[in-house]
Amino acid sequence: MDHIRITVAVAFLFILGVVAQHNNLLRKRYRPIYHITAPEGWISNPTGFTFYKRQYHIFYQYHSYNGAWGHMNWGHAVSKNLVDWMHYPSALLPNDYYDRHGCFAGSAIVNRNFLLLFYTGRILSEKESYETQNVAVSGDGVFFQKYLYNPVLRQSPNGIGEFRNPKVWRFGRRWYMIVGNTSTKRHGQLLLYTSEDLFSWNFNNTLVTSYGDMGYIWENPDLFELDGMHVLIISVQGMELDGWRFRNLCQTGYVIGHFNHYKGRFDDIEVSSATFNQLDYGHDFYGAKSMIATDGRRILIAWLGMWESELKESTFGWASMLTIVRELRLNENGVLLMSPIREMEELRGELLEDAWYSPGETFPAESKSFELIVNSTSIYFDVGLVFEWKLGRFTIGYSAEHGYVSIDRGGIDGIRRAYWSPVSHVYMRIFVDFSSIEVFCGNGEVVFSSRIYPKTIRVRVVGNSQLYISQYKIRRSIGFDSELVQRLNLAINPYQS
C-alpha cells in the first residue's frame, strides 16, 4: 500500500505545481522558454535519457521545494520531437532507508517493454555519506515502483562512500554497468559490473583509474560506440587548472579508445590530463547524458550549470536548466563534434535580422529568446560580437592571428578560450534564451555554454571582418501535458465532474 500512497502523493504534488505555474504564483524572471527547467525549485544534471512508448524521456536531479540544493528527486519531462517538452510527475522520491537523503543520477533503459531507472541512493551520517545502487521499474513511463530488494549494490569493493551514477547498457545477452568511485589513494576511477538479469550484479574489475592528475571522483560516466570507436565521457571533480584548460570548478570531457566487451576492459585507453578533452568550453556545463535517437544519431544533453555558481534566479523560486539537445559525431582526427540537433529549426519563428554588418554597427536583439547564425567572408580577419545590456556584456571573439575562439562574460574569471581552425570562413550558431547562451563554432569543433543575466540586449559587431547575420525569434517549447494532468486529477478525484 505504501507505493500506492506515494503514487497518489506524487500526482497530487504534480497537479499543485501545474496550478502554481498557470496561476503565476511563481515569479519567472530569467526563466527560459525553450530549455528544460524544473516546474519550480532546483534542477541539476540529467539522470537518464531514453526512448520509451513513442516518446523521449529525460530525467534530472530535482529539488522541488525551493531554488537551492537539497534532497534530490528525479524530475521527468517527455517529448516526441526532442524540442517540445512536457513536464511529467517526479519519477523517484527519496523516501526509503537506502535513499532518504537523495536519489542521484544513473541510467534509464528499456527492457521487455518496461522502463527501468538505475540510480544512486544516498544516506548521510555525521562524518560521511553512504551511496548504494538501486532500481525502479515502470510499465507506463509515468509512475515507478522501486525494486523490493534494493539496493542491488550496497557498497563499493573498497568500501569508500564515493560510489555513484551507474551507467547501464546491454551487449549481446549480458548487461554491463560502470560506476564512478574514489580509490583508496583518493583518485578517480570507474568500476565495472556485469549481470544476466539486471538485478543480480557481479563485480568484474576496476575498469580504469586515474594516474593522479584527474581529480578525486569521476561522476556520471557514459560509454558508447561512435563511428567505430568507443567514447568515454566522465565528469571530474578536483582537477587542477592547466592554462586555458579546466578553468571550471568541475570538468566534463571525454577520451577515445576501444572497449572489449568479451574481456571486460579497454584495449588501448589512458585517462589523464593529457588525453582528456573538454566536451564544452563554457562556464556552465556538467553531467552529460547521451542516447541513440530513433534514427540512429547519438544525441546528448547536459546540465547548463556549474557547482558554486551564482544563480540569480534562485531568489525567484527556481534555479538552473538543461542544455538544448545536441548531436555527436567523430571527425577524421578523433575529435568529438557537438552540434545542435536539426529539430531546433522547428522552433524558429519570425526572422528578425538578415543582413550584412560591418565592424562598429549594432542592432537590437528584439527578443530574449533567439538564434543567431553568423558567417564571415574569410578566416584571415578577426571576428567578434558583443552582446550588450545595462551593467553587463558578453563577448565572442575569433583571433585569426592566434587561432583561437574565446568568450568573456566579465568578472574575475569571465574568459574562456579554445583553439579553433575554421577551414574556409568563420561560422557560428548562437542560442540565447533569457539567461543562457550556447555558442556552436563551425561543425561543433568548439562549443561554449554559459549563464548570463541580461535585460534588453543590443548586438555590436567588432573585429576586422564583415559578418552576415541572420536572427530568428524562437518560440516557447516547454509546458505541461493537459491530458495527463486531467487523467491524474480524475485518478485522485474519481467523482469529480
Which CATH number characterizes residue 177's domain? 2.115.10.20
Tell which of 285, 319, 340 closes a domain.
Answer: 340
- Whether 295 and 403 map to the same domain: the answer is no
Question: C-alpha distances in angstroms, 240 versus 187, 246, 285?
Answer: 13, 7, 17
**222 by DSSP, 3-state: which?**
strand
- Residue 24 is predicted with a pLDDT of 44
Q: How far are the Cα atoms of 17, 38, 166 from residue 315, in angstroms, in the given order?
A: 18, 15, 33
The residue ranges of DSSP E strands in 183-334, in sequence order, are 188-195, 201-209, 217-226, 229-237, 250-257, 259-260, 265-266, 277-278, 286-292, 298-303, 318-319, 326-330
Q: CA 465 to CA 380: how far, in whole Å?
A: 9
3-class state of residue 287 by DSSP: strand
Kindly state whether residues 131 and 187 are assigned to the same domain: yes
Beta-carbon contacts of 243 under 8 Å, excluding residues fewer than 6 positions away, are none
**How, if at all, do strands 55-63 and 229-237 pair?**
unpaired
Angle, CA of 10, 36 and 435, to the nearest 5°? 130
Mean pLDDT of 440-444: 97
pLDDT at residue 127, rounded to an integer: 75
Name residue 21's beta-bridge partners. Answer: none
pLDDT at 211: 87
Assess if residue 146 is contained within a domain: yes
Structural domain ending residue among the three candidates 340, 362, 394: 340
CB within 8 A of 263, min separation 6: which ones? none
Question: What pLDDT does residue 365 have?
Answer: 97
- Asked if 405 and 397 touch (Cβ cutoff 8 Å), the reply is yes
In this structure, are 321 and 385 located in the same domain? no
- State residue 15's pLDDT score: 47
Residues 257 and 386 in one domain: no
User: Is the residue at 306 inside a domain?
Assistant: yes
Q: Examine residue 15 and state whether it is found in any structural domain, yes or no.
A: no
| pLDDT of the residue at 414 | 95
Q: Do residue 158 and residue 197 come from a single domain?
A: yes
Clarify whether residues 332 and 357 are in a common domain: no
Spacing of C-alpha 161 from chain mean position:
24
Q: Span 373-388, mean pLDDT?
A: 96
Q: Which domain range does residue 330 map to?
A: 33-340
Residue 23: predicted pLDDT: 46
The reported pLDDT for the residue numbered 267 is: 92
- C-beta of residue 43 within 8 angstroms of C-beta of residue 61: yes
Q: Within this chain, do residues 324 and 372 fall inside the same structural domain, yes or no? A: no
Establish if 265 belongs to a structural domain.
Answer: yes
Whole-number Å distance between alpha carbons of 157 and 180 = 12
Distance CA 356, CA 302 (A): 34
Report the CATH number that the domain containing residue 370 is assigned in CATH: 2.60.120.560
Going by the DSSP 8-state scheme, the letter that residue 183 receives in this structure is -
Q: Exposed (0-12), middle (13-18) or buried (19+): which is 375, by Cβ within 10 Å?
A: middle
Q: How far is residue 472's CA from residue 488's CA, in Å, rounded to a whole number? A: 37
Element (H, E) at 77: strand 73-79
- Statement to judge: residues 335 and 368 lie in one domain: no
Closest CA to 276 of 211, 206, 184, 192: 211
Q: What is the mean pLDDT of residues 130-145?
A: 97
Q: What gap in Å lies between CA 29 and CA 313, rounded to an integer?
A: 7
Tell me, yes or no, whether 50 lies in a domain: yes
- For residue 27, tell me if it sits in a domain: no
Which DSSP symbol is given to 455?
Answer: S
**Buried/exposed 392-426: b ≥16 CB within 10 Å, e otherwise:** ebbbbbbebeeebbbbbbeeeeebbbbebebeeeb
Domain count within the chain: 2
Model confidence band, residue 485 (pLDDT cutoffs 50, 70, 90): low
Q: So what's the pLDDT on residue 161?
A: 82
| Residue 312 belongs to some domain of the structure | yes
Tell me the three cell numbers of residue 445. Answer: 569543433
Give the helix/strand (H/E) hosting 20: helix 2-22
Residue 486 has pLDDT above 70, yes or no: no
pLDDT at 456: 94
Contact 75, 90 (CB under 8 A): yes
Q: Taking all residues of the chain, what is their mean pLDDT, rounded to a whole number?
A: 91
Residue 34 has pLDDT above 70, yes or no: yes
Same domain for 140 and 231, yes or no, is yes
Kindly indicate the confidence band of residue 128, based on its pLDDT and cuts at 50, 70 and 90: confident
Q: Which amino acid is at 272?
A: S
Rounded mean pLDDT, 471-480: 94
Strand spans (E) along 258-402: 259-260, 265-266, 277-278, 286-292, 298-303, 318-319, 326-330, 336-340, 348-357, 362-364, 369-376, 383-389, 392-399
- In angstroms, the CA 473 to CA 366 distance is 8
Residues 357 and 332 in one domain: no
pLDDT classification of 73: cutoffs 50, 70, 90: very high
Which of 19-33, 62-76, 181-195 comes out lowest in average pLDDT? 19-33
Clarify whether residues 191 and 218 are in a common domain: yes
What mean pLDDT comes out for the span 35-43?
91
Q: Of the residues 322, 340, 358, which one is the last residue of a structural domain?
A: 340
Q: Which helix (H) or strand (E) holds 482?
A: helix 482-492
**pLDDT tops 70 at residue 162:** yes
402 against 67, higher pLDDT = 402
pTM of the model: 0.93
| pLDDT at site 490 | 56
Q: What is the pLDDT of residue 489?
A: 55
Percent of the chain whose pLDDT exceeds 70: 90
User: How many Å apart are CA 241 and CA 224, to the nearest integer?
Assistant: 28
Residues 59 and 181 in one domain: yes
Instruction: Look at residue 192 and tell me if it is in a domain.
Output: yes
